[in-house]
Structure formats: structure tokens, C-alpha cells
Chains A and B, each alone.
Chain A
Amino acid sequence: MAPHTEQLSRPAAVRLSGLTRSFEGRTVLDGIDLDLPAGQFTALLGHSGSGKSTLLRAIAGLDHEVAGSGGLTAPERVSVVFQDSRLLPWMRVLDNVLLGLPGKDAADRGRAALAEVGLAGRERAWPGELSGGEAQRAALARSLVREPELLLADEPFGALDALTRIRMHALLRELWERHRPSVLLVTHDVDEAIVLADRVLVLDRGRIGLDLTIDRPHPRSYREPLLGEYRERLLAALGVTEDHA
């Protein structure tokens, strides 16, 4: 089944209509209309300052005191993964995962989530004892344990080294396939977007400049030649011309 027909058949998890946001008179988001179907893995590309994070924060409901208008619907259970792991240094890893999670079986679910991201046995560690990759895994566990319908990720791998990043890509995709939340991954890394997402949006001057469906099987390799076409289209949309010397 092609993703296009899938998109039509599935209800929208996130719906933006004429979403506008501005800071001190400068329009950052300029009337965005966008549907994110339930369960779709979408990547959002853009230059720094293009409004990627503003869009993500608007969907997350984190943009207090930002002037704006437009319609916005999002699911009830939304999790956010930030660029920094944002673990509270005074709580052990398991308690960080359980932050704000109600229920008697919360601890068991937290342990299961940690095991899922490969951190079984580190429940009692302090965040200061984790490596950057481990901390980001714990952050993923914290967002997954809440069984989100929508997972928003704001450059979650931006601060990791290249090797760790590749491993985290595989992990994120694997977790998505198992839990099927809608994902909106904000990134500035074109390759990351192509390898992970089924749909890539390019945000340009506050509008969606390109909406590209990537209809290739997973897992994808960075070397896959067909992905090169997507890469060039995305780079062109970002205003980067590659010099084939």
C-alpha cells in the first residue's frame, strides 16, 4: 500500500489550519496548513531560525505568551524528546522515566521501557553517570512509557557523536515500528530525515516549502542510490546547491 493512500485513509493526529506565530512582530510561522496522519513518521527540515522549533513547541502546547492565531488539534497523549536529554540530575534514572506517570504499575512499566531502550540494569544510576547516548535513551524511555499518540522530537540526536547517532536512528525507528505513534522529528540533518522518515517536510520562511513522501523500504542505508534523488530535492528546497566537482 502506498503511503499516499494510507494518508487518505487514516485520521489526522495533528491538524494545523492557518497556524501563525510571531515574535516581536516578526512572523515565524505564516499560516501553515498541515495534516499529520495517525501513526506516520514525519521529519521536519529547515534552516536554523526557519521556525522548526516554534512549530514543534506550538504543537506541544509549550508556546506560552507567543502571539499567534490559527487552528491546531493534537492528540491527548503527547511526548516530547528534547535535544538535551533533560534528565533531572537529582533523580535516579528510573525516577526520571517515571516523572509525572500515574498508576500503581508505573515502576514496572518504567523498567520495561528502560529495558526496551537497552538500559536494563541502569535503573538506579544517576543521570550524571550516563554517557550522552545513554542519557538520550533514557529520555526516549521517559517519553515512550507514557504510550504517546504523538511523539515530538526536537533534534534529539543533534548533540550525539556520529556513531551513537546511527545507533539511535535504528533504535528510534524500531521503537516506532513497535508502538506506532505519530512522530514529528525536527532536524537539520537531511540524511537523518531521509533514512528515518516516511514523509519529509521542509519549512521555509514560515511555510511548508516542500512536502515529500519517501516511499522506500526500511531499514534504509545512507548509501542507497535512490535516496540520493530525495536528498537533492530536499537540499534544493533548503536552498543548498551541491557542487559536483
Chain B
Amino acid sequence: MSTTSTTTPVAGAAPDPAPGAADPAPTRERPVRRRRRLSPGRRLPAARLAGPVLLVAVWAVASAAGRLDPAAIPAPWTVFRTGVHLWTDGTLPSDVLTSLERAAYGFAIGLTAGVVLAVASGLTRTGEALIDGTVQLNRAVPTLGLIPLFILWLGIGETFKIAIIAIVVYVPIYLNTHAALSGIDQRYVELAEVQGLSRWAFIRRIVIPGALPGFFVGLRLGVTGSWLGLVVLEQINATSGLGYMMFQAQNYGRTDIILVGLVVYGIFGLLSDSAVRLIERRVLSWRRTLSS
């Protein structure tokens, strides 16, 4: 029994098992049973890592048990040893650096182009008329299909690779930013008119913050796209870089080196995506009040 013995029964409180209380007309009370929860419930700690860790564990166990052909899928420790070896002899760092440089240049150009075009086409009718249709046309052409043309135009050096990555990046950034810009709530536009904002103040206080969520969606797609473009370019048309390293390994049947390359790509992808998410969380901190 509870220590605070109140005589008045409180609605919704746990049913009192003691029958002595002044309880007129003993209705058939049922203890409230909590309803079955249909949402997935609370998140497990470090839940996102659980799947990959399990996968590696299965891989390690299968390798140790000799169930995997080491020529097809070498054991995790072989891959690790090869990775350390490639890193210490200097081939991996220089390949990684080359790849990073390509991705960074292409990404920077694509990001700038995407944002500038989206702003120009989202905020002016002339810009929209000139730009939007053109970008939509560009989007309809698979960017990787442009590779042969770009090689003829720009040569097989770095320029064409950076150009392809930039195109892969700018398209999602443009599309999402433009959609966010043209989707600015009309009520906020009205508010800006009522408050007498100048055109510049309107852009700075309402248009840009309002379009940021869409921009970040595009940014994350763009980051992923830059790695995707990189992988394809380096595996077909490169003489250096991670993809080239993997391509060479294929010729010599070195699956361990191929796996090292894949792991490095994976780490890059994961890190860059996390970085964008982190920035997004900080910039859009006002949203947390809604979602949490």
C-alpha cells in the first residue's frame, strides 16, 4: 500500500485492493493495461554500427573456419595487413591524396555552380526561364554518358575527371536548392511585405534560411555523388588514384587490395556524409525543437 493514505479515490490511480474504503457501488474496475506499442520504440545505443560489426564478425568467423576461398574473399586480417603494408610503403597515401584532390575540386566546383544557378533561377523569372529548363535537360542525360565526349574535349587528364564530378555534384544541389527556393511559403513572403523588408533583407532573413533544409538534402546527395563519380572515373580512365590501384590489383588477382580500396572509399563516404550531417544539425538547430 502507498504511504499517503487518501480516502478519496482518485480517477485514473491504481485500483485500491483494500475494500474498506468508502466506495459506493463497486463497479467492475479493471486496471489500465498499457496498449501495445506500435512504434519501434527507443533507439539502441550505437545502433547504426551493429549491422556492419555483425557483418565483419561473420566474415571473420567464416574465414577462420576455412569456409571462404581466400582468393575470392581474403580474411579480414589479410585485408588489414595489406592495407597497413600499402600505407607504409607510400602507395596508398599518394593514391588517396590524388583521389581526394579530384573529389574535392569537383565537389567545390559543383557546389558553387549548383548554388549560384539555383539562386539565379529561383529568385528571378529571367533566370528561371534561361536556367531551369537547361538544367532539367542536362539532368536527363546520364552524366557518365558524357565521359567519351569530355575526354575528346578536355583530354584524359585531370580536367575532364573534375568536370564530370562537378556535373554529378551540381545536379542534385541545384534541384533541391531550387525546389526549396521556389517552395518558400507564400505567407512568409507576405509577412516580409508587411514588415517592409528590402529585397536584400528578404533574401537574407527569409529566403536563405527557408531554403537551407532543401539545400542540405542536395548537399548530401552531392557528396555521395562525388564519390560515385570518382569511383567510375578512376576505374576506367585513370593512371593514379584509388580506383587505378584497384584496377591494377584486378589484373594481378589481388582481391585483398581491391577490398582495401573499397574500404577506403567506404570510409570516405561515411566521413563526408557525417560531416555534412553535423553541419546540418548545427545550422538547422531550430528544427530540433520540432522533431524532438
Contacts and interface: CB of A to CB of B under 8 A. Distances in A.
Contacts of A88: 188, 191, 205-206, 209-210
Nearest to B208: A90
Given A99-B205, A126-B286, A128-B290, A86 B197 contact: no
A62 B190 contact: yes
B195 interface: yes
B196 interface: yes
Interface in A107-138: 126, 128-129
Contacts of A25: none
Nearest to B285: A126
Contacts of B217: none
A91 B205 contact: yes
Interface string B260-292: 000000000000000000000000101101100
Interface in A121-166: 126, 128-129, 142, 146
Interface residues of A, number: 21
A82 interface: yes
A56 to B, nearest CB: 11
Nearest to A95: B205
A100 B197 CA distance: 5
A79 B194 contact: yes
A89 B194 contact: no
Contacts of B151: none
A79 B193 CA distance: 11
Contacts of A61: 193
B210 A128 contact: no
A99 B286 contact: no
Nearest to A79: B194
Q: Which 5 pairs of residues, A with B, have the shortest CB-CB distance?
A: A100-B195, A128-B289, A90-B209, A80-B194, A126-B289
18 contacts: A60-B194, A62-B193, A82-B190, A84-B187, A88-B188, A88-B209, A88-B210, A89-B286, A89-B290, A90-B212, A90-B284, A91-B205, A91-B209, A99-B197, A100-B197, A128-B290, A129-B289, A146-B195
